[in-house]
Amino acid sequence: MSTAERVGYYGEFGGRFVAETLVPALEELERAFETHVKSASFQSEWRGLLASYVGRPTPIYRADRLAHDLGLEPGTLSELWLKREDLCHTGAHKINNALGQVLLAKRLGKTRIIAETGAGQHGVATATACAMQGLPCEVYMGAVDVERQAPNVARMQMLGARVIPVESGSRTLKDAMNEALRDWVTNVRTTHYCVGSAAGPHPYPLLVSELQRVIGDEARAQLAEQVGPPDAVIACVGGGSNAIGMFRAFINDPVALYGVEAAGEGVETGRHAATLTAGRVGVLHGSRTRVLADDFGQIIEAHSISAGLDYPGVGPEHAWLASSGRATYLTAKDDEAVRSAYQLARTEGILIALETAHAFARLADIARSEHLRVGRPVRLAVCLSGRGDKDLATLLERKP
């Protein structure tokens, strides 16, 4: 199924709502998607590095102890599989996209890379790709996130990147993206803006989803070889790149797709980042999508314990998948995510990122509803998007 009716659109969502100065760069990127990203030489360079440098394919792991610990009625869940993106070099799925975009930028003759980051994982991934490709890298990061993701700030600096704290607005991911777009407008000739999620103006949602679909393609092939297809796949949703990367391979299969957004302190409190569940249609960062906004269309601040989900927008394809009903989006609160991170650590010996933990918090509910839908024990596959080292201070502070 092709989700794009018009180029750059997913139903009524997507598009390119940017300053005139950026249009030529976005058009160049759109052409580059066809001529470079789809070319055999780009694919062989990028996939070669995914294998030799990133460590792909990542394993798919059957988590029996966690499955048991979910406390489900017997016969509800047959197996629970974890797609281990935490085992990618740098510890999250973000490197798949960052490496692809940095290779593309080199082919376009760009001499400088900028990025925005929330959790710091995309910043680390971009700094890593720039270091190994010999390009200077500057990363915009909200001042709140600089503090709560300090280990990743140190990693980016060690890799030679300049981290620029952003003091405007809520001092989180949205503001970092604003500043990166501002920088890009000024330096567009020399600079590639390496967007970290499947969000932003066309062609970024398309480009990022294509660079992340390796997650779902691998998972689908691994499951087919080992046991058979899953009944449902699940991922957390910030901007939506690990989720769309996981979903893409299954979109034409009879497989349920679940995204889990951050409910922060509870959707009813207003302090959340549940854009698809409680947002409205609007424009943010160059794309028509679902956003958190007031009655006058002003973007309002998101809240999540996890920096990577603390964003008042979402990639346009998710807005479309939600409105078409092809995917289901649930929410998990801060404290539920913390509980799930501890549960996985204690049952399976895996420390997950707080972002990832949101997906795990809804597994029991998803297993029950899928069991009702298909009428037999269900097989679930969840994207374990990243490792939790960066969140240890928060996790220890919030120990349940």
Ligand X SMILES: Cc1ncc(COP(=O)(O)O)c(C=O)c1O
Q: How far is the CB of 238 from ligand X (least distance, A)?
A: 3
Q: How far is the CB of 236 from ligand X (least distance, A)?
A: 5
Where in 8-67 is the site for ligand X (CB under 6 A)? Answer: none
Instruction: Kindly state whether residue 331 participates in binding ligand X, applying the rule CB under 6 A.
Output: no
Q: Convert 272-300 to b/e letters by CB count within 10 Å (16 or more is b).
A: bbbbbbbbeebbbbbbbbbbbbeeeeebe
Return the number of the residue (92 or 129) whose C-beta is nearest ligand X: 92
Are residues 120 and 307 in contact, defined by beta-carbon separation less than 8 angstroms?
yes
Q: How far is the CB of 15 from ligand X (least distance, A)?
A: 19
Return the number of the residue (197 or 340) whose C-beta is nearest ligand X: 197
Residue in 197, 287, 328, 343 binding ligand X, rule: CB under 6 A: 197
Question: Which of 30, 79, 83, 94 is the catalytic position?
Answer: 94
Token look-up 């956003």 returns: 291
Question: Which of 116, 138, 336, 355 is the catalytic position?
Answer: 116
Token look-up 């197996």 returns: 79
Phi, psi for 205 (deg, rounded to 5): -60, -35
Query: Taking CB under 6 A as the rule, which mask of x and - marks residues 230-269 in contact with ligand X?
Result: ------xxxxxxxx--------------------------
Instruction: Kindly state whether residue 356 participates in binding ligand X, applying the rule CB under 6 A.
Output: yes
DSSP 86: G
Distance CA 292, CA 237 (A): 15
Rg (CA), the chain: 19
Q: How far does CA 287 lie from the centroid of its chain?
A: 16
Q: How far is the CB of 373 from ligand X (least distance, A)?
A: 25
Instruction: Kindly state whether residue 82 participates in binding ligand X, applying the rule CB under 6 A.
Output: no
Instruction: Kindly state whether residue 205 participates in binding ligand X, applying the rule CB under 6 A.
Output: no
Instruction: Kindly state whether residue 92 participates in binding ligand X, applying the rule CB under 6 A.
Output: yes
Task: Please name the helix (run of DSSP H) or strand (run of DSSP E) that holds residue 281, with its range, or none.
Answer: strand 280-284
Return the number of the residue (72 or 353) whose C-beta is nearest ligand X: 353
Are residues 335 and 354 in contact, defined by beta-carbon separation less than 8 angstroms?
no
Q: How far is the CB of 13 from ligand X (least distance, A)?
A: 16
Return the number of the residue (240 or 286) whose C-beta is nearest ligand X: 240
Task: Please name the helix (run of DSSP H) or strand (run of DSSP E) that holds residue 106, with its range, or none.
Answer: helix 94-107
Selection from 328, 361, 355, 331 nearest residue 258 by Cα? 328
Q: How far is the CB of 250 from ligand X (least distance, A)?
A: 16
Active site residue 94: yes
Active site residue 385: yes
Q: Side chain identity at 179, as an amino acid letter?
A: E
Residue 274 CB-half CA count within 13 A: 22
Residue in 385, 391, 394, 395 binding ligand X, rule: CB under 6 A: 385
Contact segment (CB under 6 A) with ligand X among 19-27, 44-52, 99-107, 117-125 equals: 117-125
Active site residue 333: no
Measure the CA angle with vertex 221, ends 215 and 227; round to 5°. 120
The two structure tokens encoding residue 33: 């998607």
Return the number of the residue (72 or 360) whose C-beta is nearest ligand X: 360
Question: Which of 170, 197, 241, 385 is the catalytic position?
Answer: 385
For residue 4, the SS3 value is coil
Return the number of the residue (223 or 235) whose C-beta is nearest ligand X: 235
- Residues that bind ligand X (rule: CB under 6 A) add up to a total of 21
Are residues 29 and 16 in contact, defined by beta-carbon separation less than 8 angstroms?
no
Q: How far is the CB of 69 from ligand X (least distance, A)?
A: 22
Return the number of the residue (313 or 371) whose C-beta is nearest ligand X: 313
Are residues 336 and 312 in contact, defined by beta-carbon separation less than 8 angstroms?
no
- List active site positions: 94, 116, 385
**Footprint of ligand X (CB under 6 A):** 92, 118-119, 121-122, 197, 236-243, 308-309, 353, 355-356, 385-386
